[in-house]
Copies of this chain bind each other. A is one copy, B any other.
Amino acid sequence: MPMNNPDAALDEMDRAIKGLKAVGVQFFTNVNGAPLDLPELKPLFEKMAGYDLPIWIHPARGANFPDYLTEEKSKYEIWFVFGWPYETSVVMARLVFGGYFDQFPNLKIITHHMGGMVPYFEGRVGTSWAQLGTRTSDEDYTGILKRLKKPHLEYFKSFYADTALFGASSGTKCGLEFFGVDHVLFASDCPFDPEKGPGYIRETIKIIDALPIPDEERHKIYEGNARRLLKL
């Protein structure tokens, strides 16, 4: 979506979904460097919740986002390897604590790279944020958890996640355990593997085929969840 122009994005969503039968839209994790929870972008989330169709969130950070305060850019493509899943995780937190899922209960968001950092750091997400506000003195965060209708970890589990972990078997198990089998969708990130095409598809299928789950659950990951979520 052309997020730098919210009105145009709203029109484009209608044209794509009503006119062209699109079954979802993609937002990048930042808009020219700005966050997705800007007030002027909220109608975009509202519209997709109204359609009851998913938003794919795709990371977008570049080398111009430095990893240290004293530096101007990110070295060694760290912005890509770690920065992208980091930025996915940041969006998830901003939407959760911004109350988006209470305001738009139908909101469905598919995160790339198996939910960013959230599943591996489930314990941190759960227990550190259970103390939200205790590490902040210049702003009062202590009311945020109370204002949310559900425990904060439940919102993080309400995201969907794709399987694009590039051949990481134990990460895939960890992500699946966190989101549950109804919230994980097949994706490979083809053609960005070193073989420029078949590598990620083959390795991701190998991992999913080897998961110790019943075939009906495997079928959900491969296509069932997508059919349900995209109304296919």
Contacts and interface: CB of A to CB of B under 8 A. Distances in A.
A123 interface: yes
A65 interface: yes
Contact of A82 (B33, B90, B126, B127): B90
A34 B68 contact: yes
Interface stretch (A12-20, A40-48, A100-108, A171-179): A171-179
Interface in A27-84: 30, 32-35, 63-65, 67-71, 75-78, 80-83
Nearest to A32: B70
A117 B34 contact: no
Interface residues of A, number: 69
A121 B168 contact: yes
Given A34-B69, A77-B129, A123-B168, 5 more contacts: A33-B68, A75-B97, A81-B129, A85-B121, A126-B167
